[in-house]
Amino acid sequence: MSAKKIKSALISVFYKDRLDSLVKLLHEQGVTIYSTGGTQEFVEKLGVPVVPVEGLTGYPSILGGRVKTLHPKVFGGILARRENAQDLQELQQYEIPEIDLVIVDLYPFEETLASGAAEQQIIEKIDIGGISLIRAAAKNFKDVVIIASKDQYTLLEDTLRANGGSTTIEQRKVFAGFAFEVSSHYDSAIFKFFQSEAQGEVFKESYKGGTTLRYGENPHQKGVFYGDLDLMFDRLNGKEISYNNLLDIDAAVALIDDLDGTAVAILKHNNACGAATGATVKDAYLKALSSDPVSAFGGVIITNKKVDLDAATELHKLFFEVIIAPDYDENALTLLKEKKNRIILKRKPVTFAPKQFRSLLHGVLEQDKDTKVEVLADLKPVTNRKPTDEENKALLLAVKLVKHSKSNAIVFAKDGFMVTSGVGQTSRVDALKNAIDKAKEFGLSLDGAVMASDAFFPFPDCVEIADKAGIKAVIQPGGSVKDQDSIDYCNKHNIAMVFTGFRHFKH
């Protein structure tokens, strides 16, 4: 018979919030409650009878609380198979009571780790008894209910009220699934704390709190985000964030964090269609918008400074999906909120993981994030003419922008803004030509601009085409067997070129 009435429960939790109503319900339904330590005191203060675990095991809590429930009289009552005559005989022989419900949570390991606590404090938050109780009760879900998180308290209460204190095997299996999610996530966090090169190449990631999106990349695809956006943003306005919004937001945050001064970037399909620095947010935005006002429509806008009313007035003239900033003046926010679907995000300080990964084929690719940001010392002149100070500033901006553009990528920059770019092309020459054509389309002069390439030039054709378009300085990683051909062309035409030694492919 799959429906089983709960007659006894073991309760041992770190977090007591929301536990009181569940304990009272169990008492009303005649359930014998076993407990220990702080949980026992909590139950007693509710006026509910409780049997101390020490009275069951004959042993007190020892080793500073490290050993409390690890005993055959506890685990035997949980793991005993009720349909197995031998198991039941042994329970009777050793005077072990059956335990039908286990309510237990785990020491706050992740929270302690995140707090910056000392190593020994972190180690002490590795739960032993709790994790063992969870696994035991979940394994024996045919007979036992396991509640491994306060998030399931309400579900259990509703179930017990609806079924007169009983549960079905289907319900118990669902609770067991919740429990193994808790235990596997917990163990993954501990492994990552201990992980070192000695373990070899091992991939383990666990995220809680999945959010179902309206759809994935396209309407016929299901999409879910695993993670906690609330740790990174306050959403001040707008509709639900979509799958494609998230991709653009991720690209926007990575880009803006590489830029200096007051900066604004406009992104579409993970690429910057405009980016600039300026004296104010308004100034930087208008410069960024001039690069490609067509692509900016429906895009994502990000800045690293507070948005004031002057900036908001200009921004409000454009239809865009998302704006991200560290803060907003109240009158600026009021104006921007006039578009009810416009997503307005306020950034919070956050530290990003140093690794990134993606699924493909029948596995996962993982790599270090490309955190390299070129500085003046990285620019190695390889031509007779060296870049001027102004050209060096433009080169450093251009190489930051090309780093965040889909390969193959070319970026033109001058005067603190991205003039145009050519991105996502199978040929570097095509990327270059696209950038030139776009500059012509929007009436942007390339005279005196600089060019950045995400990878080396296998032939001198790119510097030749750029020269004819008005480019006067070039930055690239170098490394081609034919680097000298490009150098020779630049020397002949008085173009300055620097190598960095760092490629920035992005796929």
Per the CB < 8 A criterion, the answer to whether 497 and 392 are in contact is: no
How far is residue 30 from each of residues 23, 38, 102, 413, measured CA to CA in Å?
11, 22, 16, 76
Q: Read off the DSSP letter of residue 104.
A: E
CA angle centred on 160, ends 158 and 163, rounded to 5°: 105
pLDDT of residue 465: 97
* Phi, psi of 319, rounded to the nearest 5 degrees: -80, 120
Bridge partners, residue 422, by sequence: 410
> β-pairing, 101-104 with 145-147?
parallel
Query: Would residue 269 show up in a list of annotated catalytic residues for this protein?
Result: yes
pLDDT of residue 257: 96
142, 150, 192, 269: the catalytic one is 269
- Count of CB atoms situated within 10 Å of the CB of 369: 11
How far is residue 177 from each of residues 161, 183, 189, 367, measured CA to CA in Å?
22, 10, 19, 31
Is 359 strand, coil or helix? strand
Structure-token pair, residue 68: 């409390």
The enclosing H or E element of 158 equals: helix 153-162
How far is residue 167 from each of residues 139, 142, 155, 156, 300, measured CA to CA in Å?
16, 10, 12, 9, 49
Judge residue 47's burial from the number of C-beta atoms within 10 Å of its C-beta, 0-12 exposed, 13-18 middle, 19 or more buried: exposed
125, 139, 386, 433: the catalytic one is 139
Chunked into runs of 10 residues, the chain (507 residues) has average pLDDT values of 87 90 94 91 93 82 75 90 91 91 92 90 90 95 95 93 93 95 92 78 83 94 93 95 96 97 97 97 97 96 98 98 98 97 96 90 93 97 98 98 97 97 96 96 94 96 96 97 97 98 96
Whole-prediction pTM value?
0.85
Structure-token pair, residue 390: 């102004």
Task: Kindly write down the DSSP assignment for every residue of 458-483, as one continuous string.
Answer: SSTHHHHHHHHHT--EEEE----TTH
Task: Kindly write down the DSSP assignment for every residue of 383-440, as one continuous string.
Answer: SSSPPPHHHHHHHHHHHHHHHTSPSS-EEEEETTEEEEEE-S-SSHHHHHHHHHHHHH
- Amino acid identity, residue 65? G
Angle between helices 129-139 and 72-79 (to 10 degrees): 30
Q: Read off the DSSP letter of residue 293.
A: T
Q: Minimal CA–CA distance to 412: which of 503, 473, 492?
A: 473
pLDDT of residue 73: 86
Structure-token pair, residue 164: 């007169």
Task: Kindly write down the DSSP assignment for every residue of 17-48, as one continuous string.
Answer: TT-HHHHHHHHHTT-EEEE-HHHHHHHHHTT-
CA angle centred on 90, ends 85 and 91, rounded to 5°: 100
- Count of CB atoms situated within 10 Å of the CB of 162: 9
pLDDT of residue 398: 98
